[in-house]
Structure 1
Amino acid sequence: MSEYQALADMGIQNPLEISKYTLRQEGIEDVLKIYYNRHTDSYLPNSRKYKFSRSLKAGFDGDSVPATSDAYEISPFLLKAVAELDQIVADKAAGHDEKQEILNEIDHLERVVSMKLAELKRRLSAL
């Protein structure tokens, strides 16, 4: 069973290649567009669109009177897919922050080592 079951059900085989997504409403449909990080020589698309119909929500206004305008609700499957996409994007952002932190530590270490080497060379030339 896949960690990202809703995305697997949508036919997404490599969810870790997802870089970002957008979600918008067009009439009574929600359009989910998923963007991927692909290699330049890949034949796979850089993005894909998925359309989800909204269902009519049977409801009442506040006074037990039927609603005067139609209200549509988002597909529960789409909500599950968006939650999985949020998890993927958040994990990538956290990984990027960790990468930047490591790069900062390396830069600091290089400065410390170069200053120490300069000090040792100065002491050696003084002998």
Structure 2
Amino acid sequence: MFQHLTALGIQQPKQIERYSLRQEAHKDVLKIYFRKQKGELFAKSVKFKYPRQVKKVKTDGGSNKYREVTEINRNLTLIIDELNTITKTKKLEKLSPKEKILSDLRHLEKVVSSKIAEIEADLEKLK
């Protein structure tokens, strides 16, 4: 039933609890979170990166000028449709714009601090 999710290697799609989708540079990052199993400290998650499709679009009808625009990968849209089918009954109440911005900011802080730690560890190896 969930052919695109099983093609990703997800054996039990019904165990999916939620997902997140964000854009980093020219990639869309899909992170799928599974239900926490008994005895696990943290719930499992998997991350997939999809390059954005680049298209050239005419900017003006009179001139021959084009500009590049990016859009979501077609395969990713099919996966999101399947994820929405699974998670539609579990939708969390919508966050206010302020709450969403704060949530995005906290996530960015975690990503940046993790990357800084990784770079510092690489620098230590060079000594």
Shorter-chain TM-score bucket reads 0.5 to 0.7
Unaligned runs of 5+ in 1: 95-127
Give the match's secondary structure for 2:14.
helix
1:25 to 23, 26, 40: 23
Q: Which stretches in structure 2 are left out of the alignment for 5+ residues?
A: 92-127
What secondary structure is seen at the aligned counterpart in 1 of 2:57?
coil
How many residues align? The count is 90
Cα distance, 1:51 vs structure 2: 0.3
In structure 2, distance between residues paired with 1:66 and 1:55: 20
Distance in 2 separating the partners of 1:67 and 1:22: 32
Task: Report the counterpart of residue 66 of structure 1 in structure 2.
Answer: 65
Q: Which amino acid aligns with 1:6?
A: H
Report the counterpart of residue 80 of structure 1 in structure 2. Answer: 78
**Bigger fraction of residues in strand:** 2
**RMSD, matched Cα:** 2.3
Structure 2 residue 12 is the aligned partner of structure 1 residue 14 = yes
4+ residue runs over 2 A deviation? 64-68
1:62 is displaced (CA, Å) by 3.5
- Could you tell me how far 1:8 is from its partner in structure 2? 0.9
The CA distance in 1 between the partners of 2:14 and 2:64, in whole Å, is 48
The equivalent residue for 1:93 is 90
State how far apart, in whole Å, the 1-side matches of 2:2 and 2:60 are. Answer: 38
Instruction: Provide the residue aligned with 2:94 in structure 1.
Output: none
- TM-score of the aligned structures, taking structure 2 as reference length: 0.63
Tell me, in whole angstroms, the C-alpha distance in 2 between the residues paired with 1:60 and 1:4: 37
